[in-house]
Structure 1
Amino acid sequence: MITLTGMHLWTRAQLRASMSDATISRRFIRVLPGVYGDGDPGFVDRCRAVGLWRPDAVLARRTAGHLYGWLSEPELVDVIVSRRTRTPPWLRAREGSARSAFLSDFRVTTPAHTVVDCAADLDDGAAGKLVDECIAAGLTVSAIRAELRRGVRHSARVRRLVDTAARNFASEPERLLIRALAGRGYRLEANARVGRFVVDLLDRRARVIVEVDGLEFHSAQDVFRRDRVRQNALLLSGFLVLRYAAYDVLRNPDAVAAEIIDVVRRRRRSLA
């Protein structure tokens, strides 16, 4: 028996130990073939019912992404099974095999497999954000690339998202700007140390620093004053400091990235 949020699940074999088939049909709701519950199942209940129905089933795609806490609850429960069979409308099963891991009571695809699968389902903006956040949380690029080499769906598109992934970002504007720069073949150091300061983005060769100013830059007097001291110190040390409002980065990261690259290229030539 599996205890859920206000609901219990049993296999038919478990129930038959103490009651007849007629009693089972009268008292319980059939969730899946051979699996019954004592109420209307929610999404998590259905995921658990899958494990009782088919112990070989692996929860996958957006279902696994939701259980990992990355995505909102999907409409369907997705599973991978060794042999396809008929399923109710809320369950989508595809035949195949996948490397799996256990997440609490759930058998799910591994984090790397799940990221690749989910990224293939999402649009570029949402997929890029998912890849970036998972890498920032500790999932390695090498693990994702290893999954791509196994031939997971849409691998060329997802590989591009991984190749341009933002790493070590501190805010959403920084993430978008790092990704826009990487998409053009430029990787600046993120949250890099320059003397006693930590700057948002840095190109050491061109001695260019990029700072993305949030709302607090304009609203807090002490922050503004300290930032003037910081910028003067960096300029006196020979760095060119480019500043962009977070609003402008969010509105058009590609335009900001193009301007930064142009400045970096010219600075590199002048300092060569």
Structure 2
Amino acid sequence: MSVPARVPPCLASLPFRGSRAVSEGLLTWTMLRGPTWVRLLPDVYVHRHGYRVDDHRMWCEAVALRLPPGAVLAGRSAAWLFGAEVLSRDAPVTVLLPTAVRLRPHPRLTVVRSPLPDEDRTRFAGLPVTTALRTAFDLGRLGPRAEALVAVDALLRRRVVKLSALRDYAEARSGWPGAPLLREVLTLAEPLSESPMETRLRLLLLDAGIGPLTAQHEIRAAGRFVARVDLACPVLRLAIEYDGDHHRERAHFRRDVARLNALRAAGWVVLRFTADDVLRRPDATVALVRQALAERRAPTPPHGHP
């Protein structure tokens, strides 16, 4: 009967440098080559029970152990650590390297080279990262345009960056690559946007000439709160909402029905869209909103007439 491998408590969950564990007598190289440990990067390992192939935090921890002096986690990885929803499940870790610093390439890494003054570095969640302000500045300059806006909105929503501060920061660096895109993004940014798909829906409508739209508009009737809607044209009492997967849950569905009935009683029309509507049927989505706006603008016929 085989004896289970000894697992030092300090190595039970987080990535670690293999050479350090060996030098401290915690493990041997033979043990590290066994099935108990997973090699993430050169000289970086994690216990097999702590390994999740799509765990971005685990990969950030692993990459941080290999960062040369002056390098930090940046871009979408830094934004994700700040709480912004900007990553796909299999996204590589973004690292920002000062111009003269070198780092061995790896499939789990995206390397960006850029000047990095000390004031643009910080530590967050125990890891070296670009500041939230520098992170928003970098992502707002990085196309495609919709992705840049989604990233900036997400960081503004987390309240780790203020729009006024980001505008001032960008203005002081107007000659940097991607600055024209960032200027456009800052004219579209909405700190009240509550999800990436809500940002995409708003941008789709703005690009179609539909607007201005009020984000997170609070609706009241007879002085009482009725609902808060994602996007609104208050003058015409038209609400436009993005419905994520959570709306399909039974309890949420029941609340939605009661909410929609209350909005209708208050004289509002509500259009609801899904990710498929925004991403795969954008023309049809725009057409529906335009039709609703036209109907709301049309004069109401006198009572008793068609």
Q: TM-score, normalised by structure 2?
A: 0.58
Letter in 1 for 2:238: I
- Give the drift of 1:198: 1.4
User: 1:71 is matched with which residue: 83, 87, 93?
Assistant: 87
* CA-CA distance at 1:154 after TM superposition: 0.8
| Residue 218 (structure 2) pairs with residue 192 (structure 1) | yes
Residue identity in the other structure for 2:212 = Y
1:118: which partner in 2?
139
State the 1:256 CA deviation. 3.6
TM-score, scaled to structure 1:
0.64
Q: Tell me the amino acid that sits aligned with residue 97 of structure 1.
A: L
Partner of 1:97: 116
**Counterpart for residue 21 of structure 1:** none
Which residue of the other structure, out of 231, 234, 237, is the alignment partner of 2:266?
234
Is residue 2:162 matched to residue 1:145? Answer: no
Q: Structure 1 residues 166 and 256 mapped into 2: Cα distance closer, same or farther (>3 Å)?
A: farther
Deviation at 1:270, TM superposition (A): 6.6
Given that residues 226 and 259 in structure 2 are in contact (C-alpha distance below 8 angstroms), is that contact kept between their aligned partners in structure 1? no
Deviates more, 1:251-260 or 1:98-107: 251-260
Partner Cα distance (1:89, 1:234) in 2: 59
User: Quick one: distance in 2 between partners of 1:210 and 1:67?
Assistant: 33
Whether the aligned pair in 2 keeps the contact of 1:131 and 1:165 (CA below 8 Å) is yes
Q: What is the aligned partner in structure 1 of residue 150 from structure 2? A: 129
Contact map agreement 1:168 1:190 (CA 8 A) in 2: yes
Q: Which amino acid in the other structure matches residue 208 of structure 1? A: R
Inter-partner Cα distance in structure 2 for 1:264 and 1:146: 36
Give 1:160's aligned amino acid: E
Query: What SS class does the counterpart of residue 43 from structure 2 fall into?
Result: coil
**Higher normalized helix content (fraction of residues):** 1
Mapped to 1, the partners of 2:80 and 2:271 lie a distance apart of: 37
SS of the residue aligned with 1:197? strand
Distance 1:181 1:197 in 2: 25
Partner of 1:207: 236
Letter in 2 for 1:96: P
Q: Secondary structure at the match of 2:212?
A: coil
Give the Cα separation in 2 of the matches to 1:107 and 1:224.
42
Call closer, same or farther: CA 1:234–1:118 in 2, change over 3 Å. same
Q: 1:228 to 1:45 in 2, by over 3 A?
A: closer
